[in-house]
Structure 1
């Protein structure tokens, strides 16, 4: 377990021996979950530090119209809802659903608070993690404020262009997964992609999209 946690940003630059000592001093438990099993429900109180040790989970929510929105996918070594552990209103903002069979570490927040007081580096890592989450959530709000499917697609493609440093974007998500992320239906997403291709903005390939004009996408 310590080897996995060493790759977790919460334990960045902390020796494996120190991580082992942490968990000798505080109680914890691990639990295994099957695919599609619910880890936490939206509005459920967040009373523990939760870290994915194996597998992956999705943060999902349903908007007022009933559309499923995938907020993000979290894998091995990532922390679930860190900003809500010590919040005054610590209700989960999303449902946490297992994508691939998962094992999750749970540490009750009072024991996690003890760990934070034991190690300044751990405390700084946690504060940095919360700050990064605030930035991520503001970006998500900005993304979902985009009114059209094309503008959301353009935002996604430009984001991937920056990450992959290539105008040919290798798709890591299926059209259905993208539709769930955008909060739209798959046919609507497919239609918008075809319209963007017809307008000469992109070229659709198998499991890839070539961006013809990066600047034009920025204006959608």
Structure 2
């Protein structure tokens, strides 16, 4: 099971997660992180193993922050074979560079592991 925050302007209580290890918050105090998150978290999703977080080609409308668990990223070849690309552990953003890309779409499938 994994827990995922979808970030944009909104708020929620997220005091149970230690986000200080996330590269996005490097150098910030816990108080600064809390202030950012109180104004930013729109949705907290908990997914079962095997569930898709995102599909290759889905538009990235938000910053996705994995706060608990593990995801597997994979691609499907033209022949239909699955190629594992990477495993991402909490606490880490998912495809952060693609949020601001000209084509802001997930480059891979993201699956709860």
TM-score range, shorter chain: 0.7 to 0.9
d(CA) in 2 for partners of 1:71, 1:54: 20
Which structure 1 residue ranges, 5 or more long, are not aligned?
A: 100-220
Deviation at 1:26, TM superposition (A): 3.2
Deviation readout 1:51-85 (Å, 9 max, x if unpaired): 11111011110111222111100111111001111
If each structure's helix is expressed as a fraction of its own residues, which one has the higher value?
1
Which residue of the other structure, out of 93, 104, 107, is the alignment partner of 1:79? 93
Whether the 8 Å CA contact 1:84–1:90 is kept in 2: the answer is: yes
Q: Normalized against structure 1, the TM-score is what?
A: 0.43
Any runs of at least 4 consecutive aligned residues in structure 1 with deviations exceeding 4 A, and if so which? none
Which structure 2 residue ranges, 5 or more long, are not aligned?
A: 1-13
Count residues with an aligned counterpart. 99
d(CA) in 2 for partners of 1:95, 1:48: 16
Q: Normalized against structure 2, the TM-score is what?
A: 0.81
Matched, 1:90 2:104: yes
Report the structure number with the largest CA radius of gyration. Answer: 1
Matched, 1:21 2:35: yes
RMSD: 1.4
d(CA) in 2 for partners of 1:78, 1:43: 20
